Amino acid sequence: MTRRPGIAETAALTAAGFAFFFAVWWGVAASGWLPRAVLPTPSDVATTFMALIRDPFAGYTFQQHLAASIGRYLMGFALAAAIGVPLGLLMGWFRILDDVVSPLFEAVRFIAPLAWVPFAALWFGTGIGGPIMIIFSGAFPPCVVSAYRGAKLVDQRLIEAAQTHGAGSLRVIAEVLVPGSLPSIISGLRVSAGLGWQSLVGAELIVVSAGVGYLMVQGQSNLATAIVMCGMIGIGAVGFAIDVALRFVERRIKAQWSPA
């Protein structure tokens, strides 16, 4: 392996990366090579961003759109975790469930969240249900897969020890499989959180009230590319924050969990 850079070094390199990105963006946009309406400059976007924060666009300010998105996202993600993790654990424990559900699941999970948009709208409406279902369809597979893999990888001897001391299926699941697969579940939740957030724009294509995705759709139909970019930056920043936070949680839990 190569030498691990220090924190200061890492921060400097990261800053350099961003600086380079913005420089290129600015250079291309300012060169007049592309019309402003197609590629706004960073300062255009910043100005638009300040305006969006101050004045409502498409009914709400930027913060309100973002809050609506986050609320929707949290519901979809929570639902995916609440159903996916137990389902994965049960599939890892009960052979029958594994045989019945796994092939079906393996096929369905390759359908991209966006592909669900028409049905989500038809079945659950464009209010709360539809968007949540799309986020759910993005966040659900990693929850199931990580819990399932985690349960399958739990040391067989621990399961046997629990069983020979009187534990039934439920207790084995609760006291051996859950803690034993926790590191895997946590990793899965992190992936799931990311994919759920990625599905958000798709989810909000069908939303008719508020949300960053909705903001972007409205911006696009007004040919206001700077607004679309503001939405993209908002999504990128929140997604990055979610990932950093969950990485931190994951590291903490794994450090506490893995026996020396």
Partner 1 sequence: MSGISFKGVTKRFGGRDGEVLAIDRVDLEIADKEFVAICGPSGCGKTTLMRMAAGLDFPSEGTVAVGGKAVRGPGPDRAVVFQQFALLPWKTVKENIGFGLKCRGVPAAEREREVMRYVELMGLTGHENAYPHQLSGGMQQRVAIARSSVLQPDVLLMDEPFGALDAQTRVVMQEELIHLARRNPRTVLFITHSVEEAVYLADRVVVMSRRPGRIQETIDIGATRRAENWEAQAIEDVMDRDSFIHFRTRIWKLLRHRDEAAAAAQRPARRA
Site residues (vs partner 1, CB under 8 A): 155, 157-158, 160-168, 171, 175-176, 179-180, 257, 259-260
Quick one: 243 or 250, whose CB is closer to partner 1?
250
Q: Quote the longest CA-to-CA distance of the chain.
A: 76
Question: In whole angstroms, how close is the CB of 169 to partner 1 at the nearest point?
Answer: 11
Query: Phi/psi at 60 (nearest 5 deg)?
Result: -140, 160
Question: In whole angstroms, how close is the CB of 160 to partner 1 at the nearest point?
Answer: 5
Question: In whole angstroms, how close is the CB of 85 to partner 1 at the nearest point?
Answer: 17
Question: In whole angstroms, how close is the CB of 180 to partner 1 at the nearest point?
Answer: 8
- Cα–Cα distance measured from residue 188 to residue 146, given in angstroms and rounded to the nearest whole number: 5
Quick one: 109 or 171, whose CB is closer to partner 1?
171
Length of the chain: 260
Quick one: 106 or 160, whose CB is closer to partner 1?
160
Question: In whole angstroms, how close is the CB of 51 to partner 1 at the nearest point?
Answer: 53
Classify residue 58 by its DSSP letter: T
| Residue 221, token pair as written in the block | 């139909």
| Residue 180, token pair as written in the block | 């034993």
Quick one: 133 or 178, whose CB is closer to partner 1?
178
- Cα–Cα distance measured from residue 106 to residue 115, given in angstroms and rounded to the nearest whole number: 16
Quick one: 31 or 164, whose CB is closer to partner 1?
164
Q: What is the rounded (10 degree) CA torsion for 26, 32, 33, 36?
A: 80
